[in-house]
Copies of this chain bind each other. A is one copy, B any other.
Amino acid sequence: MYDVMEAIGAHEIVVEAPEHKQSLALMEPLQIQKILLAYRHRLIDLEKDRRFQQFLILKNYPGVFNRHPHSHIIAMPVIARRIDEEIWGTLDYYQRKERCIFCDIIKEEIMTKKRVILETVHFLVFSPFASRYPFETWIIPKKHSPDFHHIQEEEMEDLSGAIQSLFIRYHQVLSDPPYSLTFHSSPVQTRFHRSEYHWHIETRLRIGLREGFEWGTGFFVNPTPPEDAAAYLREVE
């Protein structure tokens, strides 16, 4: 009745700074760039193992087991369910409109502005329309690209500035809140890779209540409208 998944994978820890008390909001901008370089470097290497279909970059702040600043690179032999759902949505939209839904969202958000937190040369940082969590934020490249690890040096410098700016805003508006951050990127290997996908970073604050209702229904309750969240975060100097 059930299949057992082949138990292969990789789990690597990126130690983000030599100092025990350090955070994305407070570190030197160059340090964030080095972290992104480490991610890219490792993903390019891990991709050579053809058993891996999906990479997940994940950061919990503060860490659950260790508060020293770190993040995780996880390589999986299957496509993550959440990425798979996003791919289905992307393909469905493509079939009907022949355009990338993420590209359309970016255009719409830049036009209406009310959910935008900041815009850099290459990236848009915004509160998504149907935010599931208070202060949920997406960081997305404005140019269509399915894979984080094909990012260029110049974009990486820009991205590290965008990431730091977001976490300075969180730090100031919500006094150093706990959060999780993840990179959503296309599955790898020729047979799973999806050029229609559009990679992005999602962040979620670990504040507020995630209780029985969400678990019982599969629905999300978010008391903070994304327009309000974006307005609070925009105001930070």
| Residue in chain B with minimal CB distance to A60 | B212
Q: A2-B130, A129-B2, A130-B2 are in contact. Are A82 and B213 (CB under 8 A)?
A: no
Task: Write 17 A-B pairs (CB below 8 A) sorted by A numbering.
Answer: A1-B108, A58-B216, A60-B211, A64-B209, A80-B218, A81-B218, A82-B216, A82-B217, A83-B217, A84-B218, A85-B218, A180-B216, A181-B212, A182-B212, A182-B215, A184-B216, A204-B215
Determine how close the nearest CB of chain B comes to the CB of A133; give it in whole angstroms: 9
- Interface pair B81/A182, CB less than 8 Å apart: no
The answer to whether A219 and B58 have CB atoms under 8 Å apart is no
The one of B2, B80, B85, B108 in contact with A216, judged by C-beta atoms closer than 8 angstroms, is: B80
**Contact of A215 (CB < 8 Å), options: B1, B85, B180, B211:** B180
Asked if A70 CB lies within 8 Å of chain B CBs, one says no
Q: Is A46 an interface residue (CB 8 A)?
A: no
Determine the distance from Cα of A31 to Cα of B30 in the docked complex, in whole angstroms: 63
Encoded as 1 (CB less than 8 Å from any B CB) or 0, chain A from 76 to 99 comes to 100011111100000000000000
Shortest CB–CB separation between residue A45 and chain B, in angstroms? 21
